[in-house]
Amino acid sequence: METEITSQSPDQESGEELFELKLYVAGQTPKSRAALENLHKICEEHLRGRYRLEVVDLARNPALARTDRILAIPTLVRSLPTPISRIIGDLSDEDRVLMGLNVRKLR
Amino acid sequence: MNGNLAPDLAAELEEAKRRLAEAEATLDAIRMGNVDALVVSGNGGEEEIRAILNMGSLANSIFNQVAQPVFILDARGCVQRQNQAALDLAGEADGRPFLEALPLRREDAAESDVLGDWLERGHHIEALDVGLDHPRLGTRFYLMDANPIDAGWDGARGGIVTLLDITGRKLAEIQLAVRGSQLRQQFTLLKTITDNIPEGLLLLDEEKRVIFHNPAALVILDHAEADLAGKELADFFRPRSAPEAPGTLDLEGSEAEAGARRGVLPRRDGSWLPVQFGFHALKGDKAEAGDTILVLSDISALVSSEKALMQSIEKQQHSQKMEAIGRLAGGVAHDFNNLLLAILGFTDLSLVHVAEGSRVHDNLKEVKRAGQRAAALTAQLLAYSRKQILDPQVLDLNDAVKDVLKMLGHIIGETIRLEVEIDPDRLSARFDQAKLQQVLVNMTLNARDAMPGGGRLVLRTGSTAVSAGDRSGMVREMRRESEDGVPAGEFTYVEIEDTGHGMGPEILDHLFEPFFTTKEFGRGSGLGLSTAYGIVKQMGGYVQVFSVPDRGSRFRVILPKARGGGPGTTESQSDALPSPRGSGKRILLAEDESMVRKLLAQVLIDQGYEVIEASNGEEALSLLPGPTEAPLSLVITDIVMDRMGGIELAAHLARLRPSLDILFISGYAEDQHKLPMDGPERPFFAAKPFHPAEFLHQVGSILEKKLLAAKS
């Protein structure tokens, strides 16, 4: 369980870009849990069918932090669409998360 | 190179900027508390996950779990955050000015100025005492601490306010203050009591040493030193049962005795103070075992009032005894008077019928003399019982004194020499001889008692004139006088002078007060001189006393000189019965003593009166003559009779025969005062024993007066 990958099959018909997301957490800290919950909610609401999410537990393998130069936990990294962007925190502020991911609000 | 370099540099610059932005975002997130873990480099260069796991939520839960209300204020003084306790206290205050949100008690409204000041200047507040109205707990008291939070630049200045609930402590403090003041009050009260009670209090330890004493103890003990603390009781407390009793009272075991004991304590001036004292074991939490309290009372006032009460009771008993004897004597005298009236009366009647100079006549005269002596004895008995009425007549004072000399000689005994200085002139005065003699007897008794070792007693008569503003005739060398204010006029006097111990002012002042006596208890009644004084005053006279301690006393009885009516007026009256002049006038005679009734009837019949005899009031009423019969001229009635007495009879007669005169006769002198006094004139009264001639004279004069009244 070094790396847990949660993905949704991309919706080919939509023709829109695929979001490749990586959430760095440290075990079950409150903010890690909150970030995961919040991210699930946002993705299901705004990116349904066009994202791929990988959750990286640094508590199990701290060395993985090096890949994306992770300094604080939780951190969400969007590797696609480029450029790479990151959002640090528990992702509770939905507006800020959508802005950071550059996702247009549906409503 | 430049062309190759430049794009690299530009890319590196971009990369650096991106990294910087990332770092900034990371720091921001850390600062904002949005992360709970960091990735750091360990010692071996390996990554490690570190530290701030759960930090924010921990602080938050601590913040909320703190029981003290805590408010975080922003730079404007508005509530930025508040913990659960603060929420309970002030409600949701987020964004409100702290001063508005804080539920200050109205009484503590002034504190809001202090707080306002603090908010403005950012000063510390330490332990500010505030009362707040807690919505759920009511009024609570808090200590408020307020400290600025300096974020490094003025614009970010805020503050943290913590409130410590001290209500419990405050209440305890208040209770403590109240108890303290109660204790102080109790102490003040106790001190006031112990300082002011007349009883002496001494707190003693087991060794009988003084721990504490009050001021009264010093007064009662008459101790020279002001403080007895630490001294042993036995050194200064040595009561005796009485001044004359040797040794001191045994105090051992007194503690066990609940009752107080009496004794006397020596004083520095040599006198003895009667005291009451008692030992009481001290009880209570603070008391050491064996501590006792000695309570001391000055009972001198009590003792003297007890003594006075005892004396007063005994005096009263004595006086009651005298009264009883007097009543007895009076009763005997009354019966005697009836007998003597009969004896003397019948003797007189018989003497009329016997030739003068005959043997029978002489014998009858002896009977009469014996009867007269018996009558004098009766009079003395009555004088003793003070039931004799005053019978003032104009007499020679010298004769009265000579008459009593023999009796006085008997009274004074053999150790006292009696000298008599009788004025050669006649001393006419109006007085009652028996009474005056009683006065002289009383004064002589007094003089005798003043000379227990013998001495000289002078009986002196004389006359003196007192002019207005002059009290001459008084002896100047006498230092102290007790005298009546004698008005101007001519007086006779008789004085009794002794060479006894004399009297000081303190005695002279009380000399004539009833029951005042200097004699040993039980020896004198205290009535002798007061009776004498009363008698003299009753006769219109005065008493003067001259006395010098250790030199003697002189009592002078002063009587106004009589004008006209030579001495011996009564004596000159003949014992001989007057000639008959009754001329058939009817007299109703009511008398229960048959012997007396017979005598009086005989006397009246011999005088020519017609007498209707009745043995009591009822019979007298039944014997009243009817309208057709010859009317009554006079009713003579005894006062005390079995079936209807004289006074009741008189009341009936006043209704039946209003114009009828009544002559009351009685053996009791005081009966005179019971007579009805509502008429225009005093009722006619004759005291037994009377001489038949006197009696006839009185009857004659009543009838004559009536005759005169009828004529006019």
Map B482-495 to HEC letters: EECCCCCEEEEEEE
Interface of A with B in 37-66 (CB under 8 A): 58-59, 62-63, 65-66
CA atoms of B107 and B91, how far apart (whole Å):
21
Classified as helix, coil or strand, B631 is coil
Check whether B156 has a pLDDT greater than 60: no
Interface of B with A in 100-159 (CB under 8 A): none
- Identify the weakest region by mean pLDDT among B225-229, B535-539, B621-625, B683-687: B535-539
Residues on chain A touching B39 (C-beta within 8 angstroms): 58, 62, 65, 70-73
Percent of chain A with pLDDT over 90: 6
For B36, the closest of A30, A63, A69 (CB atoms) is A30
Residue B459: predicted pLDDT? 93
B26 touches chain A (CB under 8 A): yes
* The two structure tokens encoding residue B157: 């200045």
Residues on chain A touching B16 (C-beta within 8 angstroms): none
Residue burial B103-136, b: 16+ Cβ < 10 Å; e: rest: ebeeebeebeebbeebbeebeebeebebbbebee
Look up residue B240 and give its DSSP letter.
B
Q: Are B236 and B228 in contact (CB under 8 A)?
A: yes
A66–B46 C-beta distance less than 8 A? no
Residues on chain B touching A72 (C-beta within 8 angstroms): 26, 29-30, 35, 37-39
CA atoms of B16 and B396, how far apart (whole Å):
166
Burial of B226 (0-12, 13-18, 19+ CB in 10 A): exposed
- Identify the weakest region by mean pLDDT among A91-100, B56-65, B415-424: B56-65
Q: Are B431 and B437 in contact (CB under 8 A)?
A: no
Residue B575: predicted pLDDT? 55
Check whether B704 has a pLDDT greater than 50: yes
Arithmetic mean of pLDDT, A32-42: 89
How distant is the alpha carbon of residue B260 from its chain centre?
A: 24
B461 closest CA partner among B409, B396, B416, B366: B396
Which residue did the predictor score with more confidence, B354 or B47?
B354
Arithmetic mean of pLDDT, A4-28: 65
Arithmetic mean of pLDDT, B75-99: 85
Residue B358: predicted pLDDT? 92
Which residue(s) pair with B204 in the sheet?
A: B210, B292
CB within 8 A of B444, min separation 6: which ones?
B408, B411, B412, B457, B496
Handedness of CA B377, B381, B386, B387 (dihedral sign): negative
Pairing relation of β-strands B586-590 and B632-638? parallel
B25 touches chain A (CB under 8 A): yes
CA atoms of B543 and B512, how far apart (whole Å):
10
Strands (E), B166-238: 200-204, 210-213
CB within 8 A of B190, min separation 6: which ones?
none
Percent of chain B with pLDDT over 70: 79
Arithmetic mean of pLDDT, A28-49: 85
Q: pLDDT tens digit string along A61-89? A: 888 888 888 888 889 998 888 778 888 88
CA atoms of B388 and B381, how far apart (whole Å):
9
Number of H helices, E strands in chain A: 3, 6
Arithmetic mean of pLDDT, B77-85: 85
Which residue did the predictor score with more confidence, B542 or B360?
B360
Residues on chain A touching B41 (C-beta within 8 angstroms): none
Check whether B619 has a pLDDT greater than 90: yes
Task: State how far the alpha carbon of B398 is from the alpha carbons of A76, B402, B494, B692, in Å.
Answer: 159, 6, 9, 29
**Helix, strand, coil proportions of chain B in percent (round to 5)?**
40, 25, 35
> Residue B496 — pLDDT band, cuts 50, 70, 90?
very high
Look up residue B578 and give its DSSP letter.
P
Give the count of beta carbons closer than 10 Å to the beta carbon of residue B350: 15
Residue B457: predicted pLDDT? 93
What separation, in Å, do the N-terminal and C-terminal C-alpha atoms of chain A show? 37
Largest Cα separation within chain A, whole Å, is: 40
For A65, the closest of B34, B47, B53 (CB atoms) is B47
Residue B410: phi and psi, rounded to 5, are: -65, -35
Arithmetic mean of pLDDT, B420-429: 89
Arithmetic mean of pLDDT, B130-142: 87
For B644: left if phi > 0, alpha if psi spans -120 to 50, otherwise beta; the answer is: left
Task: State how far the alpha carbon of B90 is from the alpha carbons of B60, B69, B70, in Å.
Answer: 19, 9, 11
- Identify the weakest region by mean pLDDT among B25-29, B172-176, B272-276, B552-556: B25-29
Q: Are B528 and B445 in contact (CB under 8 A)?
A: yes
For A65: left if phi > 0, alpha if psi spans -120 to 50, otherwise beta; the answer is: alpha
Strands (E), B399-551: 416-421, 428-431, 455-466, 480-483, 489-498, 542-548
Check whether B327 has a pLDDT greater than 80: no
Check whether B578 has a pLDDT greater than 70: no
A30–B29 C-beta distance less than 8 A? no
Which residue(s) pair with B455 in the sheet?
A: B416
Tally of CA atoms within 13 A in the half-sphere of B469 that contains its CB: 0
Arithmetic mean of pLDDT, B4-30: 79
Classified as helix, coil or strand, B288 is coil
Check whether B612 has a pLDDT greater than 90: yes
Residue B479: predicted pLDDT? 32
A72–B29 C-beta distance less than 8 A? yes
Check whether B481 has a pLDDT greater than 50: no
Top residue of A73, A76, A87 to mutate, by most chain B CBs within 10 Å, is: A73
Q: Are B635 and B663 in contact (CB under 8 A)?
A: yes
Check whether B80 has a pLDDT greater than 90: no
Arithmetic mean of pLDDT, B386-402: 75
Residue B55: predicted pLDDT? 47
B36–A32 C-beta distance less than 8 A? yes
A58–B39 C-beta distance less than 8 A? yes
A63–B46 C-beta distance less than 8 A? yes
Task: State how far the alpha carbon of B596 is from the alpha carbons of B348, B351, B421, B587, B593, in Å.
Answer: 14, 18, 44, 15, 5
Q: Are B202 and B296 in contact (CB under 8 A)?
A: yes
Residue B152: predicted pLDDT? 46
Percent of chain B with pLDDT over 90: 11
Provide the Cα torsion B70, B76, B78, B82; round to 10°: -30
Handedness of CA A66, A69, A75, A81 (dihedral sign): negative
CA atoms of B496 and B553, how far apart (whole Å):
8
Classified as helix, coil or strand, B575 is coil
Structural domains for chain A: 17-101 (3.40.30.10)
Task: State how far the alpha carbon of B428 is from the alpha carbons of A67, B393, B509, in Å.
Answer: 167, 10, 31
CA distance A8 to chain B (A): 27
Residue of B nearest to A77 (CA): B22
For B35, the closest of A62, A63, A72 (CB atoms) is A72
Arithmetic mean of pLDDT, B661-670: 80
Check whether B138 has a pLDDT greater than 50: yes
CA atoms of B464 and B354, how far apart (whole Å):
49
Most confident among A50-64, B384-398, B663-677 (mean pLDDT): A50-64
B49–A71 C-beta distance less than 8 A? no
Helix ranges, B577-675 (H): 594-606, 617-622, 646-656
A73–B36 C-beta distance less than 8 A? yes
> Residue B669 — pLDDT band, cuts 50, 70, 90?
low
Q: What average pLDDT does the structure give for chain B?
A: 79
Residue B473: predicted pLDDT? 36
Residue B389: predicted pLDDT? 58
CA distance A55 to chain B (A): 16
Residue B330: predicted pLDDT? 67
Residue A11: predicted pLDDT? 44
**Predicted model pTM:** 0.35
* The two structure tokens encoding residue B511: 């000399």
Which residue did the predictor score with more confidence, B478 or B574?
B574
Which residue did the predictor score with more confidence, B326 or B137?
B137
Residue B288: predicted pLDDT? 62
